[in-house]
A and B are shown apart, each in its own frame.
Chain A
């Protein structure tokens, strides 16, 4: 793990009609790190993601990806720099096959179709979607669509991956498989990730570092084990009853 900050966020704020969705957030992450982003519903996690991915522009504050200032770039420019993302509400290309979905991601790096196709097949195999290659994306189940989101983002060969609730709706064993895949990508390729997740088991296994948002503000950050013991976090997010659940 190098100490090169892959992502540096400075005083980031975004309001919607007076409501501060993201309020003065700063943080930095090193290359190869997996950061978990947690917080109750409406805490501003997805808004924060959309800011990182360029889908919306911040009111104030700066975002650096390696040495690039990215807070004024368009989503496709940020993607081309090596930031991949998934959507909480999945957005498959419904009328296309699973393979074609992933090929479109792979075409960012491979101009030739046959190379992109090979790359896409490798990724589908890794995410155990290869059997569904020729199924239209609209016929996939929700867990499969979640995996397709990840596969498509991975196909662009990102250095930083933003994952927005990719475990939601998955069965426990499917969660384990997804976590294993993500961990192995992290180890093999040094892929950095920011992970929004409600499935606490996954957050605990994946993250080196956890950031807790509430009402658009960063209320705590630290190692996953310490975060779950932080009284502020327990109060706002986990609720008192949940402490035992997390320790289990």
Chain B
């Protein structure tokens, strides 16, 4: 019962909170949700199927460019191109997975292959005039358009709900996927390839589907964010640093858990932004502080919580709930707050 109440509160808070927040905080929340979404997509491939990708900017950028490009050039509806972007990225992911398998490129070397593809995409999109080339691609912003959900044009508040919905849907999707045969086969692939094969699992098939799904989903995130951001540059979109940013959330939050990537993104993104804002306030202009911060948090996590934040807190929270059931009056206020926050994160 307690759990349901907490989840309900979490849903309410995440639905109502943005109405009372100022623009800047809202923009950070949207950014966090975006990283949570893409991080979760990456986690599907690395956390559950055990395939490392260091080039997820490839799929994200492809989704962004396909959606935005066709919108700018032909006025195609983004909800239509989302299907196309998903399929294109999934096929590309499947191809990369097949290449890796065909030439027996495993582990870190497979990750290098993913980087190579992302870098190639950056160079290719630099030279595609259809997508604006190096000069960038800009989506037209009309004033006065408040909520045009069908065209994905509107105020940040609308995008907050779009990303909230997308991230929640993705979490539910992966949660149910893990309870299917394919979900179990992904984990078998992650845990031990030889043993998996000996049980009749076609590794190639599972790998291809996992990478394709992860890439396809990531491209959806990219497309949605492109319509929020309204501008795209190959050097930003396909940058190696981007790919790394995407996997920071899951690694800090907990790879291979459902909640970890969400917790990680909701923690890291605001902290990174706050850091930049703080330095701005003091009047210091130090480019790269955010990345330094990411590097530092990665180091700390690897040293002290190698499994990530979520697995560490999970047991603590479960204990909290069982304690509360037994003794309601004894609930420590600060503890309760912490649990609520984590649960809100779980819901989001």
Smallest beta-carbon distance B163→chain A, Å: 30
Contact A76–B191 (Cβ < 8 Å): no
The residues of A that contact B212 with a CB separation of less than 8 Å are: none
Q: Please give, as numbers and ranges, the residues of chain A lying within 8 Å of B102 by CB-CB distance.
A: none
Q: Does A229 contact B (CB under 8 A)?
A: no
Query: Chain A contacts of B192 at CB under 8 A?
Result: 91-94
Interface residue SS majority, chain B: helix
In the assembled complex, A152 has its CB within 8 A of some CB on chain B: yes
B28 CB contacts on chain A under 8 angstroms:
none
Cβ of B284 under 8 Å from chain A? no
Contact B194 A55 (CB under 8 A): yes
A–B Cβ pairs within 8 angstroms, 27 of them: A55-B194, A55-B198, A75-B198, A76-B198, A79-B197, A79-B198, A79-B199, A80-B200, A84-B198, A91-B192, A92-B191, A92-B195, A93-B188, A93-B191, A93-B192, A95-B187, A96-B191, A100-B184, A100-B187, A103-B184, A104-B184, A107-B181, A108-B200, A108-B201, A111-B181, A113-B180, A152-B199
Q: Does A237 contact B (CB under 8 A)?
A: no
Give the shortest distance, in Å, between B136 (CB) and chain A (any CB): 44
Q: Let me know if A105 and B199 touch, CB within 8 A.
A: yes
Smallest CB-CB separation from A103: which chain B residue?
B184
How far is A87 from B193 in the complex, measured between Cα atoms in Å? 13
Whether the pair A91, B195 counts as a contact (CB closer than 8 A) is yes
A108 cross-chain contacts in B, Cβ below 8 A: 199-201
- What B residues does A93 contact at CB under 8 A? 187-188, 191-192, 195
Interface on A for B, CB 8 Å cutoff? 53, 55, 74-76, 79-80, 84-85, 87, 91-96, 100, 103-105, 107-108, 111, 113, 116, 152-153, 155-156
Task: Give Cα A153 to B188, complex, Å.
Answer: 14
B residues near A94, Cβ cutoff 8 Å: 191-192
**B191 pairs with A95, CB closer than 8 A:** yes
Chain B contact patch, size range: 20 to 34
CA distance A116 to B184 in the complex (A): 11
- Nearest CB in chain A: distance from B150 CB, A: 38
Contact of B184 with A53 in the complex, beta carbons under 8 Å: no
Instruction: Give the one of A96, A107, A152, A153 with max B CB within 10 A.
Output: A107
A85 to B190, CA, bound (A): 20
B195: chain A residues within 8 A (beta carbon): 87, 91-93, 152
Q: CA of A155 to CA of B199 in the docked complex: distance in angstroms? A: 9
A30 CB to nearest chain B CB (Å): 24
Contact A104 B180 (CB under 8 A): no
CB neighbours of A156 from chain B (8 A): 199-200
Q: Is the CB of B200 within 8 A of A76?
A: yes
A91 in contact with B194 (CB, 8 Å): yes
Cβ-closest chain A residue relative to B195: A91
List the B side residues contacting A53 at CB < 8 Å.
Answer: 198
Separation in Å of the B194 CB from the closest CB of chain A?
6
B233 within 8 A of A: no
| Closest chain A CB from B52 CB (angstroms) | 16
Interface centre among B179, B188, B196, B202 (most CB of A within 10 A): B188
Interface positions, chain B 193-229, Cβ under 8 Å from A, are 194-203
Residues of B within 8 A of A74 (CB): 197
Assembly CA distance A94 to B196 (angstroms) = 12
Q: Are B184 and A107 in contact (CB under 8 A)?
A: yes
